[in-house]
């Protein structure tokens, strides 16, 4: 039996091998059709006496990415329609739809015949929950095999039995850690936790799974056997008394209660472990129905799943241009950024030539990759052979003639117009007329840099973030004359190195840095007002930012901030900069010699390990301090989120950002803007434009013009519009809510 989703082969022992292989997708995911067909298979196997057991596996190199989260969008749309026609039934309808997958898995678990999940690759979310509902679980012993319940990362939680089965298979502490962080497990770790039964050689995966059934695998889950005891003890036991208060405190410390789904995991597990599993599944279903309707879940699913996939698949790529197959990339400038770009290029399997003024500099640049490879081998993330292959793809040179056959050249030299002019002219003297030349710059407008080029149509900005090997965002900047072909090549390159691109039009600081500077500048304002430094940092973290603005400034370097401030004054005049900001960074850099982390002292002190960094004690002496008890922490949080969101709005108003998906992803992936909001524009949409404008009016009266709402936002508020409605990125669909 076969269809477009599953193939079934029953052997002579009566074991049905179900191979999941969706012909229209690169990765298996649970769709409505996949669930319906699986349900039908369960009925068929139960009715067929010849079938003694079932092995469920994947026909792809990966097992499954879990559920297709666009189903959630469909569910919510259906509920909204039901509310209009039959409001009394709307919640029940959503509740029933949410439980569809969970109760199908329970049907498999109680069907009376043993099922074994044979996990051959990445197994995530709903697919791993299906595996947990199987009576046996076997995983291939391979670095490519990872198991996880990562739903919390997109604002929801394991709602197909995960919160009930995991803590019934392993201790509650490990279960909570796994689900509230979304961490991935290796086969050996999953086995040690009791989540899978066997780890075998990949070639023996199916035979091992069948052997479990032939060996008399019970078709009854442990929790359905009378006398079952929880691995971690009852929630009201001595162990529970130690675990649950601590777990709640740790969650609050790590999330600041900004993530309802994480809290719902604790609630589902705590309540579910006190009742039979069927009741526990209903508890989980109830919480999941609630969480799915929260603005956090809806915004995170949209930005961190739907939009992320769309952008990564080329939503902004110009149509009609043939994809570029990269045979060689040139990187000019072997400093920290250039070295990182060379590494991610080679990691993608693309040959790269790394060029600088002398071989000593290029050797230092390649050494960066050598160190990353060494660490990867030590941590088991790569092999010696793979590392050697990566390094063999990086060649070093001092001769720009070696760029002659490059398909793309990335200039990553010092952030200076004159230096970049000289390098651009030297590169263009060697490369083909059709070759795209990209400048890795964080602030210098691309249109201005393109004036140094004889081929401005093939000149583009590619702004990487530091460190290149870890940061997933790449900002692609269009100059006034940049062609669609250059944009397509840049997007193809970013896709090849598996990073997420956002496309922005040219302006000083582009998009991400404009927003980041607002964040750091607001901390300067707070310092000058006398807000205690610790409150400045802690309020930012409470607002959902991963790093406080002062700590972030240290990472960026305070002397760089001083250069930016002075360059802004030189280009735009003294009124373009708050004099308090210039005074602060001049004091830090020139009077105190505090440059940031790079010299071990900035807004923080960085003592030798194992001591931890701490705020510079003298920082509070620079300005008269306010009484901490009289500082409104919520207002501090509002200031951070609002000042960033307002700058994002200004870039939309100016036409710098044209797609709300990119604004949201840029703020989250670029500097960690409170992910629970779904990004800067989603933050405004969730609050409502009018409510946001009203809040900003209060902040503007108290703290300054940086909180004045742009005309675009005032107009949207008056019309009751949202960014995803007014700037709908889906041309063939109705405007999103």
Tokens of 13: 């022992």
In contact, 481 and 450? CB cutoff 8 Å:
yes
In contact, 722 and 701? CB cutoff 8 Å:
no
User: Could you give phi then psi for residue 103, rounded to 5 degrees?
Assistant: -80, -25
Q: Name the 3-class secondary structure at 123.
A: strand
Whole-angstrom distance, CA of residue 713 vs CA of residue 652: 10
Whole-angstrom distance, CA of residue 567 vs CA of residue 550: 21
> What would you measure as the largest C-alpha separation in the chain, in angstroms?
85
**Closest to 576 (Cα-Cα) out of 523, 671, 508, 519:** 508
In contact, 479 and 506? CB cutoff 8 Å:
yes
Whole-angstrom distance, CA of residue 22 vs CA of residue 36: 14
Tokens of 446: 């691309």
Identify the H or E element spanning 329: strand 329-332
Active site residues per annotation:
463
Whole-angstrom distance, CA of residue 139 vs CA of residue 253: 35
Whole-angstrom distance, CA of residue 602 vs CA of residue 618: 11
At which residue do the structure tokens 């939009």 appear? 307
Tokens of 319: 């149509």
- The secondary structure of the chain in percent helix, strand, coil, rounded to multiples of 5, reads 55, 10, 35
Whole-angstrom distance, CA of residue 617 vs CA of residue 213: 66
Q: Strands 123-124, 147-148: parallel, antiparallel or unpaired by DSSP?
A: parallel
In contact, 120 and 205? CB cutoff 8 Å:
yes
Burial of 569 (0-12, 13-18, 19+ CB in 10 A): middle
At which residue do the structure tokens 């902004």 appear? 316
Number of neighbouring beta carbons within 10 Å of residue 415 = 18
Whole-angstrom distance, CA of residue 727 vs CA of residue 720: 14
Is the bond preceding 96 in cis, omega lying within 30 degrees of 0? no
Whole-angstrom distance, CA of residue 382 vs CA of residue 368: 16
| Helical pair 633-653 and 512-529, crossing angle rounded to 10 deg | 150
At which residue do the structure tokens 């990362």 appear? 153
Q: Rg of the chain over CA atoms, in angstroms?
A: 28
Helices and strands in the chain, H and E counts: 31, 18
> How many angstroms separate the Cα of 518 from the Cα of each of 211, 555, 561?
62, 16, 12
Number of neighbouring beta carbons within 10 Å of residue 115 = 26
Chain mean position to CA 71: 20
Whole-angstrom distance, CA of residue 143 vs CA of residue 149: 18
**Closest to 639 (Cα-Cα) out of 547, 520, 495:** 520
| Helical pair 87-98 and 70-85, crossing angle rounded to 10 deg | 160
């Amino acid at each position: 039996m076969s269809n477009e989703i599953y193939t079934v082969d029953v052997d002579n022992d009566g074991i049905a091998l179900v191979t999941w292989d969706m012909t229209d997708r690169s990765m298996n995911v649970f769709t409505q059709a996949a669930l319906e067909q699986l349900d039908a298979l369960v009925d068929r196997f139960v009715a067929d006496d010849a079938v003694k057991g079932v092995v469920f596996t994947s026909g792809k190199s990966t097992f499954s990415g879990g559920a297709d989260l666009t189903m959630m969008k469909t569910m919510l749309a259906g509920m909204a329609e039901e509310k209009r026609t039959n409001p009394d039934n709307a919640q029940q309808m959503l509740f029933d739809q949410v439980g569809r997958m969970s109760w199908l898995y329970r049907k498999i678990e109680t069907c009376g015949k043993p099922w074994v999940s044979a996990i051959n690759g990445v197994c995530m979310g709903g697919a791993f929950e299906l595996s947990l509902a199987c009576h046996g679980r076997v995983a291939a012993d391979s670095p490519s095999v990872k198991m996880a319940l990562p739903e919390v990362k997109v604002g929801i939680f394991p709602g197909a039995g995960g919160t009930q089965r995991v803590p019934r298979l392993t201790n509650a502490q490990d279960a909570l850690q796994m689900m509230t962080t979304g961490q991935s497990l290796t086969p050996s770790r999953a086995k040690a936790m009791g989540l899978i039964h066997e780890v075998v050689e990949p070639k023996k995966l199916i035979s091992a799974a069948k052997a479990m059934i032939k060996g008399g695998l019970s078709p009854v889950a442990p929790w359905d056997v009378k006398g079952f005891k929880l691995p971690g003890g009852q929630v009201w036991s001595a162990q529970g008394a130690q675990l649950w208060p601590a777990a709640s405190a740790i969650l609050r410390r790590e999330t600041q209660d900004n993530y309802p789904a994480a809290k719902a995991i604790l609630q589902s597990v705590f309540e579910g472990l006190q009742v039979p599993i069927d009741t526990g599944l209903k508890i989980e279903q109830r919480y999941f129905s609630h969480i799915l309707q929260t603005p956090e879940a809806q915004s995170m699913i949209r930005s961190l799943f739907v939009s992320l996939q769309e952008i990564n698949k080329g939503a902004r790529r110009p149509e009609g241009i043939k994809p570029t197959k990269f045979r060689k990339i040139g990187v000019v400038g072997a400093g920290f950024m250039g070295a990182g770009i060379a590494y991610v290029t080679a990691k993608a399997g693309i040959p790269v030539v790394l060029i600088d003024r002398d071989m000593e500099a290029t050797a230092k640049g390649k050494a960066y990759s050598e160190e990353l490879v060494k660490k990867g081998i030590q941590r088991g993330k790569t092999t010696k052979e793979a590392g050697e292959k990566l390094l063999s793809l990086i060649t070093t040179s001092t001769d720009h003639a070696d760029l002659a056959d490059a398909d793309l050249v990335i200039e990553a030299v010092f952030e200076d117009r004159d230096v970049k002019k000289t390098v651009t002219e030297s590169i263009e003297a060697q490369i083909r007329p059709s070759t795209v030349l990209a400048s890795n710059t964080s602030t210098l407008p691309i249109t201005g840099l393109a004036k140094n080029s004889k081929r401005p149509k093939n000149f583009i900005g590619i702004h990487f973030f530091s460190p290149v090997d870890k940061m997933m965002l790449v900002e692609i900047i269009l100059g006034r004359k940049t062609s669609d072909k250059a944009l397509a090549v840049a997007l193809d390159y970013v896709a090849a190195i598996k990073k997420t691109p956002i496309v922005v039009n040219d302006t000083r600081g582009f998009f991400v840095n404009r927003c980041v500077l607002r964040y750091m500048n607001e901390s300067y304002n707070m310092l000058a007002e006398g807000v205690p430094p610790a409150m400045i940092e802690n309020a930012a973290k409470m607002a959902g930012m991963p790093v406080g603005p002062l700590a972030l400034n240290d990472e960026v370097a305070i002397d760089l901030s001083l250069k930016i401030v002075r360059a802004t004054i030189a280009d735009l005049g003294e009124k373009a900069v708050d004099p308090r900001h210039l005074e602060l960074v001049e004091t830090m850099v020139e009077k105190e010699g505090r440059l940031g982390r790079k010299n071990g002292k900035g807004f923080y002190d960085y003592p030798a390990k194992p001591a931890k960094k701490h705020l510079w004690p003298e920082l509070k002496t620079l300005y008269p301090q306010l009484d901490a008890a009289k500082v409104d922490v919520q207002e501090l949080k509002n200031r951070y989120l609002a000042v960033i969101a307002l700058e994002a709005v200004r870039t939309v108003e100016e036409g710098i950002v044209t797609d709300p998906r990119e604004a949201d992803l840029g703020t989250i992936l670029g500097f960690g803007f409170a992910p629970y909001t779904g990004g800067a524009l989603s933050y405004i949409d969730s609050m409502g434009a009018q409510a946001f404008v009203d809040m900003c009016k209060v902040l503007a009266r108290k703290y300054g013009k940086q909180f004045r709402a742009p005309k675009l936002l005032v107009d949207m508020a008056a019309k009751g519009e949202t960014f995803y409605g007014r700037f709908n990125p889906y041309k063939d669909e109705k405007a999103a809510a």
